[in-house]
Amino acid sequence: MLMATRAVTFLKKHKIPFELVKYEHQEKGAKFAARATGYSPSHTVKTLVVEFNRGQYALVLMAGDREVAMKQLARAGNAKRAALVDSVTAERLTGYLVGGISPFGTRQRLPVFMEEGLLGCGTVLINAGQRGSMLKMAPADIKSALDCQMVSVSQS
């Protein structure tokens, strides 16, 4: 049963359309969520928490079948370096458990970088802020709701 996560509350407050998709969470990761929901990994968005330089954090929205090219991301963020943060830091910054991190309603407001290739998808699944719950929505709605900076930083 989905509690009203901060992500769902955020979307309802801002009148952003979404459909809730539930699945049995057995392991974290967009690839597992894609298999469990029958959705394509290329249309299942993972939310990554990164650190630029020292102490500058951001979210990166990336297709589940892609990896982030960190050097390109650092350039996009006007930083010397970019790296994924550890689970403890990700949970502290977002207020969500790893495997359930949503970019909506995070504890700290963070800049959001979105892989531009996602805009070519009609709809995507993105975490609803609780393990086993995804939001089916238009990438353009995600972009406008979070004021995403569009980037090309994916690699296979």
pLDDT confidence of 47, banded at 50, 70, 90?
very high
Do residues 29 and 56 make contact, with C-beta atoms less than 8 angstroms apart?
Answer: no
- Please determine, for residue 1, whether its predicted confidence score (pLDDT) is greater than 50: no
Distance CA 9, CA 105 (A): 8
How high is the mean pLDDT of the chain?
91
Q: Tell me: the pLDDT tens digits for 56-92?
A: 999 999 999 999 999 999 999 999 999 999 999 999 9
CA distance between the termini of the chain:
35
- Check residue 3 and give its pLDDT: 61
Nearest 5°: the CA angle 126, 134, 55 is 45
- Check residue 40 and give its pLDDT: 86
Tell me the average pLDDT across 144-153: 95
Q: What does the domain layout of the chain look like in residue ranges?
A: 16-155
**Tokens coding 4:** 């009203």
Q: What is the pTM of this model?
A: 0.92
Distance CA 31, CA 47 (A): 12
- C-alpha Rg value of the chain to the nearest Å: 14
With respect to CATH, is domain 16-155 assigned 3.90.960.10? yes
Place of tokens 């090219």: 69
Place of tokens 């330089």: 53
- Check residue 35 and give its pLDDT: 80
